[in-house]
Structure formats: structure tokens, C-alpha cells
A and B are shown apart, each in its own frame.
Chain A
């Protein structure tokens, strides 16, 4: 699905937990998430912590849309 979006010339970032799968399938811009059932917020943590994590990682993904890359890239996250 990511590839069809990119093929149309629209930059796209895949946010996922299984980064090696995304690389194999052929996503060009990847931002890791923390798990499969809750990619962007661990329910064991407070709502505030979840929000911060989500705000950070989606922010990284937005910035990744502006990145001029030449090969498949996994972007670093801090939290």
C-alpha cells in the first residue's frame, strides 16, 4: 500500500513495529513504533506519557516527509 502511494509520487512514511518487514517489502521512509497492538502509546503508561511518545514519533514521521533521501531510510526516534 505504501508503495502504491509512493509510486504516485506522493511521499509517504510507514510507521510500524516490524521494521525489517517494511524494508523487505520496499517502504522507503520508515519510523519505528513501539509494538503491534499499540504502535503509538503503551497502555501501561500514563496518558501523558503516551501523548508525548505519539507526539514525538509522529513529529519524526512528518519531518521524514521533508527528508531528501537516496535510499531506504529508518528514521531515529528519541522516545
Chain B
């Protein structure tokens, strides 16, 4: 029987949530958490499960990858599977990172699954086969099944279909295929052109992916006369969270007056972000929202003015569409007060 090795994070391994996100890489024999679901549908024995905390992978990426590749050196495996990571951004980053490293080093297929809103998908979809997964662990079985269906074909050496038909993100890899219809490229091209001229819908065979980069804003010429504003996606709010900003998948933001304070005091402000261990930020909110040093820069004259409010929301599980909408709303406030530049801290 073919052999598989599975990568999961500390949460899915049942080790712990955010307080354990710095968990160091570990390899265990046998099945654990989602490996059970994977094992049930995969035509291979899942011999080992690798566990790594998401923050350990995020903050010590090179070390984490090296240690995991080290675990695998003496193992015999035919396929490597990570996740599914759903909409969990750091987990998606981890799954993409480790799959890319494993397939490069060992030359075995490495597959993962995540939601399209997971930034890991955009980062790694060109390098790694990433299946389009659900938003949360409720979709575990379905996501694993789609992935395993493809993995089983690879393991048996069967013919696989296109990204769209198999359900993974397009990698921009072109493959030559014989169409059963026998219609040549010239015929298809002309028929597309006719449709286009007639104003009808047609589907290009060569979609051009576009990366949405924003034009670089003109730099500030003189900081000492500029008004700067602070924004964070780290969930720093007054302790009673007056705007009831959600701890994950936020749709709300708030702004809080800082004109009369020199720093953010513990017990007055805290974080409501559910995507990391809040202990450090609660003990000293300035480690996420650096008001104390900004006031110092103001005092020294490095900056001309500090906008009277800081803006806050939570960046975990928040869709790009919601983030863009909240960004636009915040921009309106910044423009009203003629803010010249923004420092945004993200967690």
C-alpha cells in the first residue's frame, strides 16, 4: 500500500488554540484529528502526522521548514498532504509553505486545501496544488474527499483532469490535450471571435490572471509638518468594546480618541482579536498599537501632528471584500481630517 504523511496545525492536533500557536514542529506515528477523515478516503496508509504551531511557522519559517524536512528524510512516503486550512490565514500560509518545500526536496506530490479568501491560496496557488475548500472546519469531510479523489488518481497513476474539473486553483500550467470533439484551435478561435463580434458571451481558453496592485501614493515631503494616523487590524479596543467589533470575521470597526493620552494603558484598552494569544497585547496594548512611541515622535517634532483617533478592527477570518469596505469607510474619516500618512499595524 502506498504511504502518505499529513501536516496539521496545533489546533487541529488538539494541542491547543492561540495560547499554543508557538508549538514547535513534531512528528507522530499514526493518525490524529483530521488525519482520521483523510485516512478514511485516501487509498494510502497515513503513516505519520506532523504538527506545527501556526505562529511558529509564521515567525520562524526557515527553521520550521528545516526541522520538518529533517523529520521526513528517513521516511518512505508517496504523497504529502497538508490541512485543510479553510479560511485560517496563518494555517494556509503554513500549509502552502510546507507543501512547496516538501515537493521541491522530495519530488513527491504535495497537496493542500483552503478557502479562496485565505491569503495562502493567492500566495501558493502557482506552486502548489491547492483545492478550493470551505470556510470552516464544518467542511472538513467534503474538502478532504475532493482532495483525496485527486490524490487517489495520482497514487494509481490514473489520468487527471484540469484544475477546474478537479477543483483546485489554477496554477497557470498549460497542458496539451486532445479534445474529443476534434474541434481545432483555429475553429475554436474563430467561433469565439464571432461570438465576441456578436456581443455574445464566450469563455476564453487563456484567461489572464490580474494582480490587483494599487498605484503607490506620492510620498510625504516633510514629516515634521505631516499629520499621521494609526490604524490596526489587531483588535485593540477600549475594554468594554463599545462598537461590539467581532473577534473574528469582523464586519465592524471603531475609532477611539487618543488626543488626551500618552500611551494605551492596560485595563483601559485590550485586544478582542481571536486569532492570537491576547496576553501580551492585554498587558501592554502599545505592542500592537504603538501610541507611546508616536507621542514621543510628536514631542520630538519628527511628525507635525497625530490624528486624534486610532482606528481598529479584527483581521482574522475577515473577508477581503469586508476589509476593503471598512478601509473605504475609514479613508473618508482620514480625508475629513486631512491626514497625510498612515501607519497600519497588522497581526
Contacts and interface: CB of A to CB of B under 8 A. Distances in A.
Interface string A1-30: 111111111111111111011101110110
Contact of A55 (B55, B296, B326): B296
A54 B345 contact: no
Interface string B311-338: 0010100001001101110110011000
Interface string B204-228: 0000000111111111111100101
Contacts of A77: none
B213 A5 contact: no
Contacts of A46: none
B26 interface: no
B96 to A, nearest CB: 9
Given A5-B331, A21-B123, A62-B303, A37 B276 contact: yes
A25 B220 CA distance: 23
A34 B59 CA distance: 8
B341 A37 contact: no
Contacts of B326: 1
Contacts of A55: 293, 296
Which residue of B55, B59, B313 has the most chain A CB atoms within 10 A of its CB atom? B59
A76 interface: no
A33 B342 contact: no
7 contacts: A1-B231, A1-B233, A4-B331, A10-B334, A39-B346, A43-B284, A58-B297
